[in-house]
Each structure stands twice: as structure tokens, then as C-alpha cells.
Structure 1
Amino acid sequence: MQKENKLGVMPIDKLIWNMSLPIIISMLVQALYNIVDSVFVSWVSEASLTAVSLAFPAQNLMISLASGTAVGVNALMGRALGAKDQKRADTVAMNGLFLAFVGFVLCAVLGLTLSDFYFRSQTDVEEIIQMGNRYLMIVMGASVGIFGQMMLERLLQGTGHSILSMYTQGTGAVINIILDPIFIFVFKMGVAGAAVATVIGQVFACIFALVLNLKKNPEIHLVFRGFRPNWSIIGSIYAIGLPSVVMMAIGSVMTFLMNKILITYHSARETAATAFGIYFKLNSFVFMPVFGLNNGVIPIIAFNYGAQQRRRMIETIKRSTVYASCVMVLGMVIFQLFPGTLLKIFKATDTMMSVGIPALRIISLSFCMAGACIALGGCFQALGKSMYSLIVSFIRQLVLLIPVAFVLAQIGHSMGNDNLVWWCYPIAEVFSLGVTLLCYRRLYRTLISKLPENGPEIPA
């Protein structure tokens, strides 16, 4: 008798933490790496930290492609497993690995050819341009590790083996942290050393994740001999995943444009952009647990959608939204009470403190609304409605946040109040929450409410 998958039978509250906690822990380790990596770079010089901060949008664009593709694979595979279609689940997994390799090749070519143009479009400080070039060409040119790691970890997560993905991600991050000071200070490679440490950690994590999938993941079968791309499956993967790719890529565009606005209108110029980059490093400790929760919840919703278990789906959505909101409110409280302490981690100068403290306090007001948006966005992705997430993200970041930031920056510049620009975040998040709730209401009426509460009826 075939053993029932825990995604369909384990009590929801226990299942959410069983699936999510390992991912949350691994993502917290990843967030720790992000901060430690930038701390080491900040010890070299503020210009080094600025170079890494300006590289972030391009680096995040690469991660967007890897992660968004994995979202499509995870959701499609979860639905196949829920419907007990083993052959389709295996085919989805293999095509996901193929797409990960294609993504690596694309990003390597772009990183090696367009890096200089990218940095010169943001700043005219030659020192920052040269350091940023070296960093970005390494992390994108050798990105095979991050593409393989993210896809293979999602295969583990999508089949209920979240604890194994914690091991792989944690291993990569720890290797990264250990190698950072060696390459940066001992080998005196500076920013380039941070990039080398990053890609080595990613490659080790990728290899580890591949071994675990082959040896410890019986729910899917990876057979490389005779593999041929299935264009129908690839189309289905991107029907779900492409909106997620675009949604995350919009974040990269937003960050790029925000850096341009700050360098142009803020009196502190590059220092303001660096403070903005520090904010992104710090907020990862708040957002990563929520994203980890989300990654654990997506296969639960997808599986129970495939199994037509409406009651389990609804309970999962409700609980994950509450948990995500609680984490974000806690993060807001920390940013409100200890902004100076957080900035001092990065050897912040007096100028950096004067820019960063009000920035952290104002931007973090948006956290209390962001939790529900992220949780419901995961629901959209799990049910194959990633377009809703794309709409919300587009409205929030490009229709609202950037135009509002542009206007507030100009007003603040003329009034001598540089802090005004940061209010674009709370303003955009209020509207984002409203749009998210409208999308969920429509999804519930058109899809979720039509499912049987406790699964399909079994004929007598």
C-alpha cells in the first residue's frame, strides 16, 4: 500500500511549520551571510560597499530568473504529485533543471558583456565602477551554482523534504562566510574576493542538493540519460513562473531607479544609495523568514489544490497570513527602536547615520502591511495565478513607489528635507495591500469556492 504524502494528511498547523521551519532557518542563515558579506566589504571602504549596493539590482535580476522559474516548477510539480501523476512530476523536475542551465548561460553572457555599461549608467565615480565591474562579472559569469542550487532546493521543498534544503542552503552560506575574510583580506582581493567566496559557496550547495535529490528524495526520479526538453511542460512552467520572474525583476528595476533618484536628488548622493543598500541587507532578516514560510506553504496549497481539498487550502492560507504578518510587525518594531545600532554594524559614518536612521524608521512602517501581501502572493503562485502577484508588484513598485519617490525627492530637495523621499514605501504598501485583497477575493470566488470542502466524492 502506497504511503500517503504528508502534504495531504498532516494537520495544517503542524504541516506549515514542518515544511517551513527548515526553510526559514536556512534563509536566516542566508540573510546572515548577506549581512556578514556586506560587513566585510564595508571594512575595506565605503566605496566598496557602494559598489556592492549598486550591483544588487543586476544580481537580484539573475536571482529573479532562477527563483521565478523554480516557483513554476514547484507549483506544477506539487499539483502533479497531488493528482498522483508521478510521470508528469518527474518530467517537470527534469525540465526545471534544463531551464536552470539555460538561465545560467544567459546571465553569464549578460554579466560578462554589459557590466561596465550598467555601472556607468548609475555613477561617474571610477573607483566604484571598477570595483563593481569585478564583483558583478564574477557572480554572474559563474552563476551556475546559484541556478542549480535554487532549482534543486525547490525540488526538495516541493516534495516535502524541507529539512534537506535547509542543509544545502546552510552549507553554502557557511562556506561563504568562512571564505569571505580569506579572499577579501588574506588574499587581498577586496570586493572581487567577496564575489569569489559567493560563487564557491553556491557551487558546493548545488552539488550537495543534487546528491540529496538523487539519494534521499524518492518522490521524484531524476534521469539524465536520454533527456529531451518537453516544450509543453516548459510552457506550463513559465505560465506559472514567468509572472513571478517578472514580479521579482520589477524589484530590480525599482532598486535601480531608486538609486538613480537618490544619487540625483539626495544631498548625500552615493552615501544615500549606500544607505538604501544597507536597508536591503538588513531587511533580509525580516523578509527571509516570511519568504521561507511562503516557500513552505506553496507546495501545501498546490498539493491540496491538486487533491481538491478546499478546507485544508483555506486553513493554510489563513494561518500563513497571520504568521507572516506577526513576523513583519516584529521586524518593524526592531527597526523603529534600534536603527543606529543596526547601521553601526556596517561601520556607518556620521553622514551615513544621519541618512540611514530616518530611512530605516520610515521605510519599516510598511512592514506591517507587507506580510499579508507576501502570504497571499504565495497563494496566487501555488494556484497558478501568478499574474495576480505580477499585477500587485507592478502597481506597487513602478506605478506607485517610483513616481511617488521621484515627486517626494524633488519636493524634499527644494525644501531641504531629504527624508521625505522614504515615505514612498508606506504610501505604496497601503495601496498594494488593497489591490492584493481584491485579487484574493476574485480568486476565491472564481476558483477556491468551487472546490469540494474535503476532497472529491468517491463513488460507492
Structure 2
Amino acid sequence: MQKSQDRTELLRSAPVKSALLKLGTPTLIGMSVSALYNVVDAFFVRHLGGSQMAAVSLFAPIATAMLGLALLFGGGAASYISRLLGAGKRSEANECASTSLATSMAVAVLLMAGFVAFAEPFLRALGATDTMMPYAAAYAVPFFIAMTFYAFNATANNLIVSEGATTVSMVAMLLGGISNIVLDPIMIFALGWGVTGAAVATLVGTLLTTCVYLSYFLRGKSSLALSPRNLKPTAGMYAQVLKIGVPSLTYQLLVSVALWLTNVFAAAYGDAAVAALGIVARIMNLASMVAFGFVKGYQPFAGFNYGARRFDRVREATKTACIWETAFACITAVTLIIFAEPLLSAFSQEDATIVSIGATALFWNALSFATFGVQAVYSAFFLALGKAKQGALIAIGRQGIFFIPALLIGSWAFGLLGIIAAQPIGDLLSFLLVLVLVAKSKGVLSDSEMANAEHAETSA
């Protein structure tokens, strides 16, 4: 209980920069390592061949969709719980946490059962060619099982971060990520399991992360009480969760659709194109997860202080986060541009076609990544404060309104180059959208406006 009280004081009264570092650093480290194992998977699988690399890349949309499910309930609940805790409504926070986690797991089990039952037609729909199909089928079942536990982990992680327990989040993700990295070469090469070994390594790492989260809750370390007694699926609670969760889900589903469409269009240019764009997607995912990792620590701080009506702390935290995130994004962009070809060579088994396509794609994606920091902060800002409309616009904009038309038009007009350019175009247009939304929402940072905004949900 003492640790729970310490976390509350950190959110309420610690110096803003110090609090952001204490909250953001653990989530940054945890999410970075968690994303790193996807890159490491690609590094080891590339030794098996281009078709195997392309087959494993097909599953990225599924992982993204499962993260979306977790954000629908876990992310939506996290925003609401932070505001409830800030307002001192602990019993309501407990009910929200228990109900959201149970709902997320129920939906995940049903979805994964369907994926396993209809694996082959589903993989064909994802873009599996005849050369990819044997490897995709070998990877599928352990991966689908892992995704069920992944949904639990991602939901539980959001709940834990919402109470400021970011160190627990870090430990869980570190254990899962490092174990996956260690097990990959053992299961792929030493045991001779090939792509199946990569999927089993992911499953084991995911289960270890699950054990950390279960231990945290079952030993009573959390300030949130997860219990069947707290399962109260009321319409009002779901409304608060879903109004924030739906934009988060929408974003992840659109990312999933974007990955799927990219694979489908790239398949016309051969397995090398699918593999190259898959590698670039993993590299950019690692970079974005580092950015999101810090923002994940910022979000409960903003939500808690908004619920506690400490608007000065929200303003200072938002300004600080924007500066730090923009600096990181720009440094990352320059680094990726300079080392584009060496990075692609490390994952391509010296396949010149993969290196050529991938280096071009990485250059343009890195260039637009410089705008990502501001997008990430303000996306978290709107969601933390319960601003569903702005959050939904950002979610739909980046991968929906902008990316999909750019991909469709670009692939038709410019072929593979148009496919490569679609994501950078989507990023830049999304950045402009965020600037417009921020300009129109200036009042939300004034005490008078914030005192009235969304007051009912934390005082009713």
C-alpha cells in the first residue's frame, strides 16, 4: 500500500520533469525491448531465406490488430482510471479495471479460436503466395496462441501504467523481450524448428510477461483491486472506456489494414519487395515504440492531474514532452537515413534487391518520422483528457484518411515507388492535422476552459 501511496504522490506533487522521467523511462525501456524482439526475429529468420522472411512479415497486421483490441479496453480504461484516481474515486477505478480486463480476454479468445480454425484462407487473404504458404502455416498456430496472451498483457499493461506503476510494466516487458531474443536462435537453429521456432519463442516470451502481471495483481501490489466482485459491466462504464478506446482501436486497425494492403500490393513485385517493406516496418515500429514508450508515462500523469484539476501541471508536462519527443524523433530520423543501407544489409542475407527496395523505403519513412514526436504527444494528450473527437480524428487521419488513398493512388500511378511513398505522405498530412487540432484546442489548456471540460465524468 505504501508503494501505491508513493505513486499517487509522484503523480500529484513531484516536480513535473522529474515525474515524467520516473514514469516515462521504465515504459520507454520496456516498450523498446518489447519492440526490439520483433526486429531480432527478422534478423534470425532472414538466415532461413526470403520467402520465410516474407511469410513472417504477413503476421504483423494480426499483432497490430490484437494491440488494437487491448487498447480498446485497456487503453480506454487506462485514461478513465487515471482520471478516477485523480478524483479519488478508487472503487469505480477497481470496477473499471476488472471489467475491462475480463472483456478484453473474452474477445481475444474468440478471435484467436476463429483464426486457428480458418488459418489457411485467412493467411491467403493476408497475401500469402504459394512459396510463402508452407512457412506461414508453420508459424501460425503458436503465434495465434501467443496473441491471446498478448491481448491480456497489453490490456494489463495499460491498467498498471494508469496507476503510475511503470517499473512493473518495464520488468514484465523486459523479461518477455529478452527471453524471446535469447530463445530465437536456440529454437530456430539449435533445435532446427525454423520459422516455427521463432513463433514458439514469441509464445514463451509472452507467457513469461503474463506471469509477471498476474503476480503483481495476485500479490496485492496494485492499487487496483482486480476481483470477480468488481465485474460490473454497466453501460456508463463502457461508454467512458469505449469513447477513448474506440479511437485507439481504430488507429491500430487502420495500421493493421495498412500493413495488409502494403503486403498485398508489394506481392506483385515479388517476395523481395514484401520482405524489404516488412523489414522497414519492423525498424520503424521499433523507433515509434521508443517514442510511444515515453508518451505512455506522460499519459497517466496528464490524466491524473486533469482529474485532480491541476491544469498547470498538465500544461508543463505537455510542453516538456513535446520538446523531448521532437528531439528524439529528429535524432532517430537522421540516424536511420545515414545508416539505411547497412541496416537493410543486416537483415537481407546480402540480397541486393531487398537492400535496394528497403533502403529507399527506410529513407522516406525516416524523413517523415521527424514529425512523429508531436503527433504522439498530442494523441496521448487528447486521450488522457477524454477528448474522444480529437483522438478519433488523429487515429483515422494517419492510417485512414491519408495513408490508404495515398497507397491506392500511388501504387496505381507510380508502382512500387508509390507504395513506398504512401506512409511518409500519410505521416506528413497527419502532422498538419495535429497542428490544426492543437490550434483549435488552445482553450483546453486554460484553467477556465479545463475546469468545465468533461467535468461530469470525474465528478458525477
User: Tell me, what secondary structure is at the counterpart of 1:220?
Assistant: coil
Q: 1:163 maps to what in 2? A: 167
2:46 is equivalent to residue 48 of structure 1: no
Superposition deviation, residue 103 in structure 1 = 2.8
Counterpart of 1:305?
Answer: 306
* Alignment partner, residue 272 of structure 1: 273
C-alpha distance 5-92 of structure 1, shift in aligned 2 (>3 A): farther
User: 1:75 and 1:273 mapped to 2: Cα distance?
Assistant: 37
Shift of the 420–125 alpha-carbon distance from structure 1 to 2, 3 Å rule, reads closer
Paired with 1:276 and 1:149, the residues of 2 have a C-alpha distance of 27
Does 118-127 or 243-252 show the bigger shift? 118-127
**1:150 alignment counterpart:** 154
Cα displacement (A) at 1:126: 1.9
Within 5 A, what are the aligned runs for 1:125-140? 125-140=129-144
Q: Give the Å deviation of 1:21.
A: 0.1
- Cα distance in 2 for partners of 1:352, 1:403 equals 25
Shift of 1:440: 2.6
Q: Kindly state the Cα deviation for residue 214 of structure 1 after the two structures are TM-superposed.
A: 3.5
Using the alignment, how far apart are the partners of 2:52 and 2:112 within structure 1? Answer: 22
Q: Secondary structure at the match of 2:58?
A: helix
- d(CA) in 2 for partners of 1:261, 1:13: 45
- 1:80/1:306 contact within 8 Å kept: yes
Deviates more, 1:325-334 or 1:13-22: 325-334
* Identical-residue share of aligned pairs (%): 26
Structure 2 counterpart of 1:34, one-letter code: N
Q: Paired residue for 1:193?
A: 197
Please state how far the C-alpha of 1:254 moved relative to its aligned partner.
1.2
Contact residue 84 and residue 93 of structure 2 kept, 8 A: yes
Residue 218 (structure 1) shift? 4.4
Output aligned runs, 1:205-354, within 5 Å.
205-215=209-219, 217-224=221-228, 227-264=231-268, 268-346=269-347, 347-354=349-356
Contact 1:68 1:248 in 2 (8 A): no
Which residue of structure 2 aligns with residue 62 of structure 1? Answer: 66
Q: Which runs of 5 or more structure 1 residues have no equivalent in the other structure?
A: none
Q: Residue type matched to 2:168 in 1?
A: L
* Per-residue Cα deviation, 1:126-174 (whole angstroms, up to 9, x for no partner): 2312321332332223433212222222222111111111111101112
Hey, what's the Cα distance between the residues in 2 that align with 1:369 and 1:131? 37
- Distance in 1 (CA, whole Å) between partners of 2:288 and 2:249 is 18
Residue 95 of structure 1 contacts residue 230 of structure 1 at CA under 8 Å; is this kept in 2?
Answer: no
**Partners of 1:444 and 1:296 in 2: how far apart?**
23
Equivalent in the alignment of 1:376: 378
Q: Which residue of structure 2 lines up, in the alignment, with residue 361 of structure 1?
A: 363
CA 1:402–1:222 in structure 2 vs 1: closer, same or farther (change >3 Å)? closer
- The answer for the alignment partner of 1:427 in structure 2 is 425
Q: Does 1:176 align with 2:180?
A: yes
Unaligned runs of 5+ in 2: 456-460
Give the secondary structure class of the aligned counterpart of 2:386.
Answer: coil
Amino acid at match of 2:184: D
**Aligned residue type for 1:341:** P
Partner of 1:403: 405
Task: Give the conservation status (yes or no) of the 8 Å contact 1:108–1:142.
Answer: no
Matches within 5 A, 1:94-105: 94-105=98-109
Q: Distance in 1 between matches of 2:52 and 2:371?
A: 33
Distance 1:396 1:41 in 2: 30
Deviation at 1:201, TM superposition (A): 1.2
Cα pair 2:72 2:245 within 8 Å, conserved: yes
Query: Which amino acid in the other structure matches residue 313 of structure 1?
Result: V
- Structure 1 residue 383: deviation in Å? 1.1
Letter aligned with residue 340 of structure 1: E
- Paired letter, 2:210: C
Deviations 1:295-331 (A, max 9, x none): 1111011101101111111111111112111111111
Question: How much has 1:107 moved relative to structure 2?
Answer: 2.3
Instruction: State the one-letter code of the partner of 2:265.
Output: I
Change (3 A) 1:87 1:326: same
Q: Report how far residue 65 of structure 1 moved.
A: 0.8
1:401 is paired with a residue whose SS is: helix
Q: Is the 8 A contact 1:298 1:382 kept in 2?
A: yes
Residue 59 of structure 1: how far off its partner (Å): 2.3
1:392 to 377, 391, 394: 394
Residue 443 of structure 1: aligned partner: 441
Deviates more, 1:15-24 or 1:92-101: 92-101
Q: CA RMSD in A?
A: 2.3
CA–CA separation in structure 2 for the residues paired with 1:111 and 1:187: 27
Q: Is the 8 A contact 2:409 2:418 kept in 1?
A: no
2:417 counterpart letter in structure 1: N
- The amino acid that maps onto 2:432 is G
Which ranges of 4 or more aligned residues in structure 1 deviate by more than 6 Å? Answer: none
**Aligned to 2:225, what secondary structure does the other structure show?**
coil
Question: Partner amino acid for 2:104?
Answer: A
| Number of residue equivalences | 447
Letter of the structure 2 residue corresponding to residue 425 of structure 1: Q
What's 2:458 paired with? none
Cα distance in 1 for partners of 2:417, 2:105 equals 43
- Amino acid in the other structure paired with 2:354: M
- Separation in 2, partners of 1:252, 1:260: 12
User: What is the TM-score normalised by the length of structure 2?
Assistant: 0.91
The code of the aligned residue for 2:393 comes to I
TM-score, reference length from structure 1: 0.91
Task: Give the superposition deviation at 1:404.
Answer: 2.0
Residue pair 1:362, 1:423 contacting (<8 A) in 2 also: yes
Offset at 1:230?
4.0
Q: Work out whether residues 103 and 147 of structure 1, in 8 Å CA contact, stay in contact via their aligned partners in 2.
A: no
Of 57, 80, 84, which residue of structure 2 is paired with 1:80? 84
Name the counterpart of 2:43: 39
The structure-2 alpha-carbon separation of the partners of 1:124 and 1:162, relative to structure 1 and needing over 3 Å to count, comes to closer
> Residue 188 of structure 2 aligns to which amino acid in structure 1?
I
Deviation at 1:355, TM superposition (A): 1.0
